[in-house]
Structure 1
Amino acid sequence: MRQAVRCADVALGRRRHSSAGLQSALRQAEKRRRVWLRQQTAQAITLGRQGRWEESLALLQSDSFQLDVKLVTAVCGALQRAIAWQQALLLLAYDDFRRDERLLGVVCAGCAKGWAWQQALDLLDAQKALLDRSPRFSLESHNALLSAWDHCQLWPLALRLLGDMKRSEAAEPAPDVVSFSSVISALARAAQWPQALGLLHEMKPSHTEPNVMSLGAAVSACDKGHMWQMAYALLDQMPEHCNLVAINAALSAGGRGNRWELALGLFQLMSRRSLQPDLVSYTSAVTCCNRSREWVKALQLLKLCPGTNLVLATAALKACQLGALWQQALDRFQEMQHTMQPDIAAFNPCFGALVSARRWLLALQLLELLPGLNLQPDGGTKRLMLQALAQSKRWQGSLQLMSNF
């Protein structure tokens, strides 16, 4: 009997030792698995930041049986940066992954960045169904969706979602400066300047401080609405947020209002803020001066411009036409032919300068270049041609030339 008990004790001890050894082995295996997952996740994040999303995606294909939601989220983050939202959606085929709100938020943001806003909206609804315990990721999804609606020019949808967010309901995160800026930008694209300015003034009472994005979008809204006075007023109210984008939008608005003095004042503002004007700045300012017939100011600005493009070169020719500087207009047009392909909008000011200066021979010679430049005369060209024909002594030859067009 004692021997039987002793044998039973030995057997039980062996089982206990075997069970302890098995548990220890399982713990070691789980530890190795966690270390591997951390390494894979860190590698996926690094690859994503480097723009190597294909290599990041390949990490999941190496050991698919060990897929982990953190690793998948890191890979989806890489796909989000690459706007490869289709591949990210495929990773949500597993039910377990669709229950992770952080992963849903990352994929939702990726869809929104790819302008696949309907898929993003579906994911946002799925995220809300989880009773969203991570406001930070939910806010990222909402902002990405607002940005998508901005680019898709669906401002009513953006305005409605922002309204839901401002009601501070549990299902929606509170809007931040990115939320407001995206909706203001969407309203600016649609020239809905009253609502854009209304949102800008709502930000401070909502404990959201406007920034350069908000101001730039609001000024652009004023530009689209031909409200140049309001654009300049915004720059005065928030001078600390003035950047080149906002000032360029104000310059464009000033051009619509023919306010060349204010346009030059904005150049002085850029100088005080150590901002370097770009081609957009010079083009808007020169166009504004031309519309005000201040061609001297326009040419002075052109001397300061470090580069040129077709629009700016055309504005320069227009200034020469206004100033009856036919020789300078002709020189600029000839130089233009060597550096870029002129269009009919660039041809007309040069042709008009020659016609106004009664340089009939040069005007008709220039007219003969149209077929070689692959240009077709428009209404402005034909009016100038008729004026040249009416005043030129070579009217018979000019009529023959006219018939060619």
Structure 2
Amino acid sequence: MVIQSRGSSSGTRAHVPERDSSKGGEPNVQQQKRRPPSRDNARYLHSAALRRLSKTSQWRRALETLDTLIKEGFKPHQKDFSCVLKAMANCGQYADAMALLDRMRTVDGIMPDVICYMHAIAACGEAGAHDWALVLLGDLKEHGEPDVQVYNAAIAACAKASACINAAATQGSQWKSALHLLREMKKAEPPLPLHRPAYNAMLKALAGAGQWGPAIGLLTEMCEDKGAPDPDNFSLSIAMDACTIGNRPDLALRLFDDARGAEGWLPAESVDIVCYGTALKACAVLSTREAAISGRHRKEGERGGAAAGEGVEVELGEGGQRAKDLLLEMTAGPKRLQPNAIAYSCAISALGAAGSCSEIERVREQMATAGVSLTPAGYTSLIAAYAQASAWNSAVAALAEMQALGLKANVICYTSAIDACARAGQYIPALGLLQDMIQRGIAPNQMTFGAAIRACAESHQWQVALQLLSDMETGATTALESIPELFESAAETASEAHQPAASEPPVVSSAAAASQDNAKEGEGAHALPTSTSTHRAAVTMAKPLTPAKDRNPVPPGAVFRPIKPDLVCYSAALNACSRVSEWGHTLALLETAKAAGVKMSVRVMSTIIAACARDGQGATARGLLEDMPEMGLTPTLFCYMNALRACAAEGLQWDADDLIGSMEAKGIAVDKERLTAAVAQAP
């Protein structure tokens, strides 16, 4: 028989499969697969759809497909259920996954296998419900033997829960559960093979809880134990992250150095960019800690009047210097790695905490040369770095640059910029930024208002500080209504103080200049100087960032969600009042805070008592000192000495024996000779 091919008019003979005489003349199955009957074909299509949906997050469609398969009279298999469970695991639907497991046993009469349990446990891990993952693991132990993949999924669930925001609510039990599971794998009979993913998941659980000690021990076990897998770059990075989160960045950097050393287990040429990024993150934390200890941060005015980043060289410290060296090592090392945006952001954070704006500008120039652009998170780090370096003008300019490039600023960006203004005592730009974020629809939080109130306190604007505190609770913007007049006055003052030449261009960094080239003219984009030396330019940058013609006036009444002031806000307002000797408002505000349920801290009370000593408010200082035990606070030696100075300045008598007895009763170490001499000097 001659068979013509479809679409061909010639008589070319088509291929006909050979017949197998041993099977009754039927075509050979190996040569041409038989087409399944229609019912089998429907079963095949349903299974294929389930396999396809298991790779997505469309768990509802997968469940509907499973129900359709059952309604058409097909008996479901374990693989069908595992596909649905896998789709649920992809989006963390752990409650539905557990319900489906129960349905398998009670309704469909199918016992879930290890793979089904693994996907259900993975769903719990994706949702951060590590406790339910452990429940499922225990249920599997009663019906069968969990394998390596199930244990890995359970450990990963503990690791993910350990990194959640609410991990502290469970008192850090996640990493302990993960460690117990890892030890259980080693003690199993026969012992389960320990793979690197299980160890890395365990390290991740320890890192989420900041448990740097067990993390280092586990990394050491991977290096020395023959039964444990060898660590890799990811293992080192997670262990370093555990040290950094646990506030031991020095140990993180030591791990990094030891692993790459002459006797280290990781060749220098195999270190990847992830490890370098984690090391730079440790440098940022180390630099911040060094700055907090040494009190390196100062206002720009205390640097001889020069603006930050303009030829002002500061000591970088270990954290800042290591960040600078690591960037150089990445680009000039054996692998010549190109730092990414995350690595550059961490380096900028470290240099900002070190107080060096000039080094930040050098890093930004390197980024411009390498063609690396900052992400929104990178700009957040940049603004915070300028704030830590007390460079308020550069911080505001970075915020303007971010928005000119079309990146959306969030509340953290604005809060960091306002904090930079507060550090420099620039309350007018701080209020302008607060107004701008409200009009852009970005809701301020307690930290935002706390920074704005602190800016007013630094500028001795106690009335504005109290008004901001009141506006927080009402959602009004009364304190911001006079901003246009304040900007005009500041601009006039700056214009009279500085008259630059008509041809003098603003000083702009190369990175900001590149950003300006990308911004189109006529779209309301502002000039973006990031290293200006004139106060006039700084005030110009700090003006509200939206063009005046596009701005709507601040509507009366509530324009944002009312916020309850916290300790930070009250302490800043108390500081604003006590700085200008407004003791009536200070004491009234203190009573308001107590009535609102805000517990004062020893530091806040100590600052107020120190202000009493400065102004000679002896009675007030002694009253505050006596009120501290009622607030649940124990006065320190510093509080007592300042109260004594205040009484001496006001001419009040204070018996030395009574004072010493009161301090000893509260468990305060007393230098009796020194204190007696100080009391004797008082009138």
Aligned residue in 2 for 1:237 = 401
Matched, 1:42 2:206: no
Amino acid in the other structure paired with 1:46: A
TM-score, structure 2 normalization:
0.43
Matched, 1:211 2:364: no
Aligned residue in 2 for 1:318 = 575
Q: CA deviation at 1:50?
A: 3.3
Q: Distance in 2 between matches of 1:260 and 1:151?
A: 28
Instruction: Judge which range, 190-199 or 36-45, deviates more.
Output: 190-199
Q: CA deviation at 1:37?
A: 4.2
Contact 2:571 2:604 in 1 (8 A): yes
Q: CA deviation at 1:78?
A: 0.9
Amino acid in the other structure paired with 1:81: K
Q: Secondary structure at the match of 2:232?
A: helix
Q: CA deviation at 1:276?
A: 1.8
Aligned residue in 1 for 2:253 = none
Q: Distance in 1 between matches of 2:325 and 2:180?
A: 29
Say if 1:302 and 1:66 are closer, same or farther in 2 by CA, change over 3 A: closer
Q: How does 1:106-185 map to 2 (within 5 A)?
A: 106-115=201-210, 116=212, 118=216, 119=218, 123-125=231-233, 176-185=340-349
Deviations 1:346-397 (A, max 9, x none): 47648968996x9x8xx626734522423453554444333322xxxxxxxx
2:462 pairs with one of 289, 295, 315: 295
Deviations 1:107-126 (A, max 9, x none): 55444434436456963348
Q: Distance in 2 between matches of 1:33 and 1:113?
A: 34
Contact 2:179 2:202 in 1 (8 A): no
Q: How does 1:59-78 map to 2 (within 5 A)?
A: 59=137, 62=141, 67-69=147-149, 71-78=150-157
Contact 1:192 1:221 in 2 (8 A): no
TM-score, structure 1 normalization:
0.67
Q: CA deviation at 1:66?
A: 5.8
Q: How does 1:19-38 map to 2 (within 5 A)?
A: 36-38=113-115
Aligned residue in 2 for 1:256 = 423
Contact 1:48 1:78 in 2 (8 A): yes
Q: Secondary structure at the match of 1:82?
A: helix
Matched, 1:309 2:389: no
Question: Which protein has the bigger helix share?
Answer: 1
Q: CA deviation at 1:80?
A: 1.6
Amino acid in the other structure paired with 1:258: G
Contact 1:204 1:210 in 2 (8 A): no
Aligned residue in 2 for 1:279 = 446
Instruction: Judge which range, 47-56 or 274-283, deviates more.
Output: 47-56
Q: CA deviation at 1:327?
A: 3.2
Contact 1:181 1:214 in 2 (8 A): yes
Instruction: Judge which range, 208-217 or 280-289, deviates more.
Output: 208-217
Q: CA deviation at 1:235?
A: 1.4
Q: Distance in 1 between matches of 2:155 and 2:277?
A: 17
Q: Distance in 1 between matches of 2:593 and 2:427?
A: 26
1:387 pairs with one of 634, 643, 649: 649
Q: How does 1:288-367 map to 2 (within 5 A)?
A: 288-306=455-473, 307-322=564-579, 325-338=582-595, 339-342=597-600, 343=602, 345-346=604-605, 349=608, 364=619, 367=622
Contact 1:79 1:87 in 2 (8 A): no
Q: How does 1:91-110 map to 2 (within 5 A)?
A: 97-98=194-195, 106-110=201-205
Q: Secondary structure at the match of 1:305?
A: helix
Aligned residue in 1 for 2:653 = 399
Q: Secondary structure at the match of 1:399?
A: coil
Q: Distance in 2 between matches of 1:275 and 1:199?
A: 30
Q: CA deviation at 1:46?
A: 1.0
Say if 1:73 and 1:347 are closer, same or farther in 2 by CA, change over 3 A: closer
Q: Distance in 1 between matches of 2:402 and 2:587?
A: 44
Q: Distance in 2 between matches of 1:276 and 1:74?
A: 39
Say if 1:403 and 1:255 are closer, same or farther in 2 by CA, change over 3 A: farther
Say if 1:323 and 1:184 are closer, same or farther in 2 by CA, change over 3 A: closer
Q: Distance in 1 between matches of 2:354 and 2:181?
A: 31
Q: CA deviation at 1:45?
A: 1.0
Say if 1:108 and 1:175 are closer, same or farther in 2 by CA, change over 3 A: farther
Aligned residue in 1 for 2:160 = 81
Q: Secondary structure at the match of 2:398?
A: helix
Instruction: Judge which range, 340-349 or 305-314, deviates more.
Output: 340-349
* Runs (5+) with no aligned partner, structure 1: 1-30, 132-137, 390-397
Contact 2:200 2:234 in 1 (8 A): no
Contact 1:56 1:75 in 2 (8 A): yes
Q: Distance in 1 between matches of 2:622 and 2:653?
A: 12
Q: CA deviation at 1:319?
A: 3.0
* Runs (5+) with no aligned partner, structure 2: 1-76, 83-112, 163-174, 224-230, 237-264, 288-317, 474-563, 630-634, 660-683
Q: CA deviation at 1:195?
A: 4.9
Say if 1:328 and 1:365 are closer, same or farther in 2 by CA, change over 3 A: closer
Amino acid in the other structure paired with 1:318: N
